[in-house]
Amino acid sequence: MLTCSKVNLSLAVTAKRPDGYHDLDSLFYPFRNPSDEITLKDAPAASGVTIRCDAPGVPLEPEKNLCGKAVYAYCKAAGMNVPGLVIHLEKHIPVAAGMGGGSADCATVLRLLQERFHALSQEQLEVTAFSLGADVPFFLNPRPSHVTGAGERIVPVDGLPERLPLLLAAPQFPVSAAWAYQHMDLARAVAEPPRTNELIDALRSLDYESAAQFMRNDLEHALFDKFPLLVLLRRFLLENGALRVMVSGSGPTLLALFRDDAAAQAAYARADAEFDPSVRFILPA
Ligand code: ATP
């Protein structure tokens, strides 16, 4: 099964919760490409869960890999013994990049197990997903969504364009979501009310100039302070026609919004020629 990836077209942090999570007000937008591919194969029960994956930075121990964690959590919620399984994970979504790759893999394994065993109700599946990570419930049914709470309140948003004139720039270094949240300016974030509904209206009317004004990521200031490459990339993209350049999720991937697809493609061609392969440019679809 193919997974999706996502960007946050806006990510406003509205509060810090006693459980350590943050409350968000965010517009999640999924892509079919880039995606990972996951297959499950049966194995003898005694051999437990095995993860096969070639990508660097992805743990293979099933207790650490989000695919393995999904199997354990599903079986625990269903009161089942853990079956013997080999999970093949073909990774294309940049790792620890703010594009939700691990969360997408995790949700996809939950969906595959549910297809096989039908052992949980939809509500149990959603609760299990949330217990595995704040972004996991979104990937149970990825569609453009206004997400609040810590990620568990998901309202699908209709009427957004099927495709947005976006270019992604993914530098090949990881940023942990925990680091990004620890270094954010919480007081500054909560002082500014979210404008997600205005962003949604602007996107629905294909008014990208206005949409650019409402895009926001409260985690990005710490990333631009720490990583000069991101400042350089942002400047390059703005000089090459981007209306707005912002960090996605907890970064370091940047998303750049353009006037139209042609402008995004022209910037892609120039960026790909200008930067070395340590930055991956992606026209998401
Ligand atoms: P999110 O938006 O869900 O926080 P992200 O893109 O910032 O995602 P991930 O790619 O999900 O980050 O990876 C975060 C960390 O999780 C990685 O550093 C990696 O060690 C660990 N990890 C565990 N399982 C996976 C997996 N299946 N794919 C990618 N990373 C995984």
Do 15 and 133 sit in the same domain of this protein? Answer: yes
Render pLDDT for 192-247 as a digit per residue (tens, 0 to 9): 999 999 999 999 999 999 999 999 999 999 999 999 999 999 999 999 999 999 99
Residue 254's CATH number: 3.30.70.890
Q: Is 92 in the pocket of ligand 1 (CB under 6 A)?
A: no
Q: Are residues 141 and 167 in the same domain?
A: no
Domain end point (choices 123, 155, 187): 155
* CB of 34 sitting under 6 A from ligand 1: no
131 and 200 within one domain: no
Query: What is the mean predicted confidence (pLDDT) over 16-29?
Result: 93
124, 186: one domain: no
Q: Has residue 45 got a pLDDT over 90?
A: no
169 plus 82 within the same structural domain: no
Instruction: Calculate how far, in angstroms, residue 170's C-alpha sits from the geometric centre of ligand 1.
Output: 14
- Ligand 1 mutation target, pool 53, 58, 88, 247, most atoms within 8 A of CB: 58
Atom 19 in ligand 1: residue holding the nearest Cα: 58
**Same domain, yes or no: 267 and 235:** yes
Is the CB of 59 within 6 Å of ligand 1?
yes
168 has pLDDT over 90: yes
Q: Nearest 10 degrees: CA dihedral of 60, 63, 66, 71?
A: 110
Give the pLDDT of residue 1. Answer: 97
Q: Is the pLDDT of residue 19 over 90?
A: no
Hey, what's the torsion of the CAs at 113, 118, 121, 124, to 10 degrees?
-30
Distance from C-alpha of 175 to C-alpha of 250, rounded to nearest angstrom: 7
Please write the tens of the pLDDT for every residue from 47-76.
899 999 999 999 999 999 999 999 999 999
Last residue of a domain, one of 155, 170, 188: 155
Contacts of 181 (CB under 8 A, 6+ apart): 22, 219, 250
Q: How many domains does the chain have?
A: 2
- The yes-or-no answer on residue 6 being catalytic is yes
Q: Is residue 110 domain-shared with residue 209, that is, in the same domain?
A: no
Residues 237 and 104 in one domain: no
User: The CATH number of the domain where 107 resides is what?
Assistant: 3.30.230.10
20 pLDDT more than 90: no
- List pLDDT tens digits, range 119-130: 999 999 999 999
- Per the annotation, the verdict on 76 as an active-site residue is no
Q: Mean pLDDT throughout 138-166?
A: 96
Q: How many CB atoms lie within 10 A of CB 250?
A: 26
| Mean of per-residue pLDDT scores for the chain | 96
Average pLDDT over residues 185-189: 95
Whether residues 130 and 182 fall in one domain: no
Residues 54 and 139 in one domain: yes
Report pTM: 0.94
Identify the domain boundary among 133, 155, 177: 155
Q: Tell me the DSSP string of the chain.
A: -B--EEEEEEEEEEEE-TTS-EEEEEEEEEESSS--EEEEEE--GGG-EEEE---TT---STTTSHHHHHHHHHHHHHT-PPPPEEEEEE--SPTTSSS-HHHHHHHHHHHHHHHHH--S-HHHHHHHHHHH-TTTGGGGS-SSEEEEETTTEEEE--S--SS--EEEEEESS---HHHHHHTS-HHHHHHS---HHHHHHHHHTT-HHHHHHH-EETTHHHHHHH-HHHHHHHHHHHHTT-SEEEE-TTSS-EEEE-SSHHHHHHHHHHHHHHS-TTEEEE---
123 and 182 within one domain: no
Q: What percent of the chain has pLDDT over 90?
A: 95
Share of residues in the chain with pLDDT > 70 (%): 100
Determine the pLDDT at residue 122.
97
pLDDT in tens, 247-264: 999 999 999 999 999 999
Residue 22 and residue 142 share a domain: yes
Residue 36 reports pLDDT greater than 90: yes
- Domain carrying residue 85: 5-155
- Identity of the amino acid at 127: V
